[in-house]
């Protein structure tokens, strides 16, 4: 804790994930300025001197994605700080992951030429600015892992949802398909995962589904496993 302090710049970068048409998507911003002008990057910004890291992340989320604190999950991933990661000088970036239900395309602010959600599969990682491909990969990996043992999947859904929609989250994020019957049982029996609202959807060519809301629990015990074999 004692040595010469160095003038290092601190930024936050956000991996905003959502599902669009059942596909995992991430918000990217096309940079207007150098370095990496014209290329796509994660939304981010420098941390202000008196600003908590989480507050900085929320500020960027608001300004670059028009997303408020409600209905958006936000957690710190980790910090990327290799000496050569930014050509402008020493910049370390505290990366955050945000999850939300089918988010709108953002109204982009200054510094951005364009901003929109990309299907994960349409992104060429090598084309992203800075080390953002690595940050994005870390976020996706974290999201996939957390679906197994937390109730995080509900963050991808609106306040009221069906078990099919919840299953769709798992299938989209994991890229697998799951047995509807078995999934239904596990989801409804995991304590604290979902709450039966008693209401129903109107059937769209099938039996109407019950509506659920996210439960109070955060941990899934027992976990919902991918076939990790």
For DNA, the binding residues in 166-205 under the rule CB under 7 A are: 179-182, 184-186, 188, 200, 202-205
Q: Which two tokens stand for residue 59?
A: 């500020």
In the complex, the smallest distance separating the C-beta of residue 165 from DNA, rounded to whole angstroms, is 8
Q: Which two tokens stand for residue 105?
A: 């395309």
Question: 73: closest CA among 184, 218, 205?
Answer: 218
Name the strands in the sheet holding 112-119, side by side, starting at the edge strand that comes first in the sequence: 40-41, 23-31, 112-119
Other residues' Cβ atoms within 10 Å of the Cβ of residue 223: 13
DSSP-based three-state secondary structure for 156 = helix
The listed partner (DNA, a copy of itself, none) that binds 162, CB under 5 to 8 Å by sort, is: DNA
Cβ closest to DNA, residue 121 vs residue 204: 204
Q: Which two tokens stand for residue 54?
A: 């989480």
Of the candidate spans 76-84, 117-125, 198-206, 207-215, the one that interacts with a copy of itself by CB under 8 A turns out to be 76-84
Query: CA dist 125 to 12, 40, 121, Å?
Result: 20, 10, 10
Cβ closest to a copy of itself, residue 44 vs residue 168: 44
In the complex, the smallest distance separating the C-beta of residue 179 from a copy of itself, rounded to whole angstroms, is 20
The contact mask relative to DNA for 119-158 (x = CB under 7 A, - = no) is: ----------------------------------------
Query: Which residues make Cβ contacts (< 8 Å) with residue 142, sequence separation at least 6?
Result: 77, 97
The listed partner (a copy of itself, DNA, none) that binds 174, CB under 5 to 8 Å by sort, is: none
Cβ closest to DNA, residue 117 vs residue 212: 212
Cβ closest to a copy of itself, residue 24 vs residue 86: 86
In the complex, the smallest distance separating the C-beta of residue 162 from a copy of itself, rounded to whole angstroms, is 28
Please say whether the beta carbons of 30 and 38 come within 8 A: yes
């Amino acid at each position: 804790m004692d040595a010469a302090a160095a003038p290092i710049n601190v930024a936050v970068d956000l991996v905003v994930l959502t599902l669009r048409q059942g596909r995992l998507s991430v918000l990217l911003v096309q940079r207007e300025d150098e370095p990496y002008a014209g290329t796509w990057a994660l939304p981010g910004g420098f941390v202000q001197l008196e600003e908590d890291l989480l507050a900085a992340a929320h500020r960027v989320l608001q300004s670059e994605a028009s997303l408020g604190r409600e209905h958006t999950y936000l957690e710190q991933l980790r910090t990327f700080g290799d000496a050569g990661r930014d050509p402008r000088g020493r910049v370390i970036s505290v990366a955050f992951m945000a999850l939300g239900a089918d988010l709108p395309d953002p109204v982009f602010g200054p510094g951005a030429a364009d901003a929109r959600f990309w299907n994960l599969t349409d992104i060429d990682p090598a084309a992203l600015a800075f080390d953002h491909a690595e940050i994005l990969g870390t976020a996706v990996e974290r999201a996939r892992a957390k679906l197994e043992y937390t109730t995080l999947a509900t963050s991808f859904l609106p306040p009221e949802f069906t078990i099919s929609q919840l299953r769709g989250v798992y299938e989209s994020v994991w890229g697998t398909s799951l047995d509807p019957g078995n999934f239904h049982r596990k989801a409804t029996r995991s304590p604290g995962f979902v709450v039966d609202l008693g209401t129903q959807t109107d059937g769209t060519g099938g039996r109407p589904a019950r509506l659920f809301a996210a439960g109070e629990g955060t941990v899934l015990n027992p976990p919902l496993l991918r076939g990790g074999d």
